[in-house]
Structure 1
């Protein structure tokens, strides 16, 4: 299970809301599709892949105006989105960390 601050919103939730925001602005949606190589029919499949959430948040973080708009639409601060993205890069924390050596497996 991934450990996260109580105050940092879930990155997946932010990404889904960001995609909804993209749909309200044809210019942004077109740019997103052009940069990712996705289209409306491939979006659902891509959403199930590893790294999709990070990619959506990276797209948002590359454009200050878009970052502020997505944050405002979700009643978040831009820093909340930055922190949610940073949490995606942290390793999952669980009871088996650090990894056990092979001698411990027997």
Structure 2
């Protein structure tokens, strides 16, 4: 359980924590993991290396957001609002203004 109750002020570390917990949730179910690998274009042998790449955790959250049922199951188990996934994703990818 993550225990984050607010939408604003999410730190990058909290966003990463949400994404890591989401990855663990996905990895515990072979069907979810298979769909994630297909979604990401990764294979079981490249997953570990890809996890170290920038943007990987944002991709985990994108996958979660692409499946409402999976999103709701994860957020219920993690005891966070579904909107927190989008907030965490935004925190991980930043905004166009962050590059200026």
Category of TM-score, reference length = shorter chain: 0.7 to 0.9
2:29 pairs with 1:21: no
**1:75 CA displacement:** 1.4
* Corresponding residue number in structure 2 for 1:59: 63
Deviations 1:9-64 (A, max 9, x none): 72211111111111222211111111212123211110111111111110000111
Q: Calculate the TM-score normalised by the size of structure 1.
A: 0.72
Higher relative helix content: 2
Q: Which runs of 4+ in 1 moved over 3 A?
A: 6-9
Matches within 5 A, 1:75-94: 75-88=79-92, 89-90=94-95, 91=98
Alignment gaps of 5+ in structure 1: 93-97, 99-106
For residues 45 and 36 of structure 2, what CA distance do their matches in structure 1 show? 14
The answer (yes or no) to whether the contact 1:54–1:85 under 8 Å persists in 2 is yes
For residues 37 and 45 of structure 1, what CA distance do their matches in structure 2 show? 13
* Corresponding residue number in structure 1 for 2:5: none
Aligned partner of residue 46 in structure 2, secondary structure = helix
Q: What's the RMSD between the two structures over aligned residues?
A: 2.3
Which of these two proteins has the greater Rg computed from alpha carbons?
1
Alignment gaps of 5+ in structure 2: 1-7
* Corresponding residue number in structure 1 for 2:54: 50
Aligned length, in residue pairs: 90
